[in-house]
Structure 1
Amino acid sequence: MAKLMRKRKLKSKSFDEMYNEQFRAVIDNRTSLSIYNKKRRSFCIIRKNLAKDYEIEVDASEAPVLNKLLDSPQPFESSMANLKILENEIFPLIDAFKNVFGEEKELKLKSIKLAIGGSNTDYVTIRENDLTKYDVKPTLSGLRVFIEENDDSILGFLDSEYITEEGNVIYLNCEKREVSDNIYSIKIKILASMQQRGYFLQEEHKYYGLQLFIIIESRKPNDDKLFKFLKELGIDWELIFFRRRLAIHDWTEIECQKDSENLKCFIRAKYDTLNYFDINNIIRIIVKNQLPFNVADKMASLLYKMKSERATELQEKKYQFDPFLDESIQNERNYRKTRYIDQAQPIDEYSLTLKKAEIAAAAKIACAYLGIHKQIKVDKDISDAEILKYQGELTNF
């Protein structure tokens, strides 16, 4: 029984973290976004500061008494947002959404509270579930139609939810699930954060700082429809990703140029079939000839592909037909190889060590490819004929 029991292997934190990525981009003085990528999920959170352009009316609420009766507590202030927020910031999102995902797609209205009346001191409220009684579709498009038809009597929209755990006051909440094959959901929210109240009091001189959030959850971060939707929102995602990649690449290059040990680590991590001897010989020729980082990267890429191709060729040689053997013997030999050799000893690319001439040939091709005119110095035991031979082979990659 003890032999049958195996110790369970737990994934290390570093293994999981390899798949995680998080960064923030500021688009302008009102708009920013954060990207968070997990192993099987990607989140794009777009935030727009509405407090800069829109006013909000605040009054005391009945919460001191009402909260004793309700299961869900209400905020102690009643706040009304300007209707122009919906007209200028929210309703254009409907068209952007439909342009990308199709006219038949609708954002479901989950939460809103409208003020209906003659003035800010004379009104009543209706919620999203009340709208259905007036045959209003419970969607963002339905809300737009209702407001357009009753514009004279709608004063604004108020706080509709208070999530105490998050400290958020919600004014609008709508979403669409299963948007496309790769996009799980898109949520649109207008909220005010109690945690950020101090900031808005100081910067905008407003007690409630309204913000628009668009939360996109997708299967992968590089989805075409996601990028198209961002463009519809006026966000230049190409520039964001270009800046980020360029910054990371420059940092990697600087660190690898500074220290050959960093270059070793980079090659080992990126090209995992290159073994200890391969990497040492690559570094040796790079240092000896004072070649830049991009040459080392190109060399490693060529040699990585060569090793992969060579392992495939060796695997295929196991099954080459021998015309001098009887067919039954040939079949028996192939059967034994399949039955015993392949299962027990598969070709291991890592165990194949590259020749010095192959690495020298890769250096020459990498320099030529990148337009670097330099005479490559090699060890005396490497013949020019060998280098030329492997140059011909490497040009296929």
Structure 2
Amino acid sequence: MGKRKLKSKNSDERFTEEFRAVIDSSTSLSMYNEKRRSVCVIRKNLAKDYEIEVDSSEAPVLNTLLESPQPFESSMASLNILEAEIFPLLDAFKITFGEEKELKLRSIKLAVGGSNDDYVTIREKDLIKYDVKPTLSGLRDFIKENSDSILGFLDSEYISEEGNVIYLKCEKRDVSDNIYSVKIMILASMQQRGYFLQQEHKYYGLQLFIIIESKKPNDDKLLEFIKELGIDWELIFFRRRLAIHDWTEIECQTNSDNLKSFLRVKYDTLNYFDINNIIRLIDKNSLPFNVVDKMGSLLFKMKNERSSQLQENKNYDNLRYDDSLDNGSAHSIDEYSLTLKKAEIAAAAKIACAYLGIQKQITVDRDISDAEILKYQDELTNF
């Protein structure tokens, strides 16, 4: 069986992260982070708590006359869903992004009448005729003023290509500097009908979706909004970091190639010679993974500082890394081209062990003096 290797930094420049978190028995979250785009999808299963009325529709005839296909059943969801699930989302949205921000109402069909056997429907376009703002706030005000006559809301769109029946759709674009859009949808998936029949014994499984698209992952406003929704994102991220760290540690301890890849990806200013010298010292002293990680952090910061000094210093004759210069040009110096001395790596190992409370005598090559190690220890303590 071949050795399992960690992906290098260049294996996929566009895709960076994907994960799913189950919050409770009804709620889950999926995060898809790319280089310049992040998508967060929050899903809540409404079928567990709410009933839906189903009747046959006029689709057998309408679908022969209309271009847009209609569902073969007409279904009505309880108004309690809007009051208990949707309107609190509106409050959370305004708290996070500002009272002046509004979610535009894209699709809804309300049932207005005396009973489930006696009603007519009005859509979002019809609400404008009644001087209702075409927003989620406007819908809330309209329902509040006409609660006695509004029975519920029905399927308003059928997207046959996706197999989705849409009951509610609203969105806000250009929400903030980093957030492209926030969308709220209630839908039933025909593809998942079998699941809901088996698990919930319901023909239609209504689900609430909140979709947030942003320019970068983990934007402050995104996390604030998630927090307002009652989702503890800090716990989710902590669990992921803990799990990934444990997995990385196991992989790196069992395979030196993985350890090299880890250092190269996480501390990208460490070059080929730096990493090989670090691995030699680690193997020679049987140091654990957390020491390697701390060493990498210290040396990474040292190289960054050295590079800045080289760029600013006009007297190149006094530089420690003369052989790294390219024909005396300061512009050729960067963090990667500088190679660490073995004494610097040994000093980092000693500091890392002391920092982590590991009492161990570090064995080094004979050509490295204690005085030189102490000198670099003093420098590294600043990081």
For the criterion TM > 0.5, the same-fold answer is: yes
Quick one: distance in 2 between partners of 1:118 and 1:39?
Answer: 53
Name 1:333's counterpart in structure 2. Answer: none
The Cα shift of 1:151 comes to: 1.1
- Aligned mate of 1:355, from 338, 341, 345: 341
Q: Does 1:163 align with 2:159?
A: yes
1:393 aligns with 2:379: yes
Deviations 1:250-305 (A, max 9, x none): 11111112222321221122223323322222112112211111111111222222
Structure-1 residue corresponding to 2:180? 184
Tell me, in whole angstroms, the C-alpha distance in 1 between the residues paired with 2:137 and 2:332. Answer: 60
* Alpha-carbon distance in structure 2 between the residues aligned to 1:245 and 1:131: 48
1:366 aligns with 2:363: no
For 1:342, the aligned partner's letter is S
Task: Give 1:72's match in structure 2, choosing from 68, 78, 81.
Answer: 68
Pick from 80, 86, 98: which aligns with 1:84?
80
TM-score by length of 1: 0.88
* 1:139 is the counterpart of 2:135: yes
Q: Counterpart of 1:90 in structure 2: which amino acid? A: I
Are 1:249 and 2:237 matched, yes or no? no
- CA positional deviation for 1:109: 0.7
Aligned equivalents of 2:53 and 2:281: distance in 1? 71
Q: CA deviation at 1:317?
A: 4.3
Where does residue 21 of structure 2 map in the other structure? 25
Residue 303 of structure 1: aligned partner: 299
TM-score (norm 2): 0.91
Are 2:12 and 1:54 aligned?
no
1:44 matches 2:40: yes
Matched residue, 2:261: 265
Query: Residues of 1 paired with 2:135 and 2:363: CA distance?
Result: 71
Alignment-derived partner of residue 383 in structure 1: 369
Pick the aligned partner of 1:342 from 323, 329, 337. Answer: 329
Cα distance in structure 2, aligned partners of 1:13 and 1:311: 23
More divergent stretch after superposition (244-253 vs 221-230): 221-230
Superposed CA offset, 1:49-83 (max 9, x none): 01011111111111111112222111011111111
Deviations 1:109-158 (A, max 9, x none): 11110111111111111111111111111111111111111111111110
Q: Distance in 2 between matches of 1:183 and 1:21?
A: 18
Q: Give the Cα separation in 2 of the matches to 1:316 and 1:228.
A: 40
Tell me how far 1:184 sits from its aligned partner.
1.1
CA distance in 1, matches of 2:183, 2:307: 49
Which of 99, 104, 121 pairs up with 1:108?
A: 104
Partner residue, 2:6: none
Cα separation, 1, equivalents of 2:99 and 2:125 = 24
Alpha-carbon displacement from aligned partner over 1:171-202 (angstroms, at most 9, x marks no partner):
00111111111111111110000000000011
Q: Quick check: 1:197 aligned with 2:204?
A: no
Query: Structure 1 219/383 Cα, relative in aligned 2: closer, same or farther at 3 Å?
Result: same
Kindly tell me: are residues 299 and 200 of structure 1, through their superposed partners in 2, closer, same or farther at Cα, counting changes over 3 Å?
A: same
Identity over aligned pairs, percent: 80
Q: Which has the higher mean CA deviation after the structures are superposed, 303-312 or 221-230? A: 303-312
CA contact (8 A) 2:316 2:328 kept: no
Given that 2:57 and 2:73 are in contact with CA atoms closer than 8 Å, whether structure 1 keeps it comes out as yes
Measure the CA separation in 2 of the matches of 1:133 and 1:274.
Answer: 66
In structure 1, what is the equivalent of residue 3 of structure 2? none
User: What is the one-letter code of the residue matched to 1:69?
Assistant: L
Q: Structure 1 residue 175 and structure 2 residue 160: aligned?
A: no
State the distance in 2 between where 1:76 and 1:23 align: 36
For the residue of structure 2 that corresponds to 1:68, the secondary structure is: helix
Aligned residues: 369
Task: Tell me which structure has the larger Cα radius of gyration.
Answer: 1
Moved more, 273-282 or 186-195: 273-282
Give the CA deviation at 1:44: 0.7
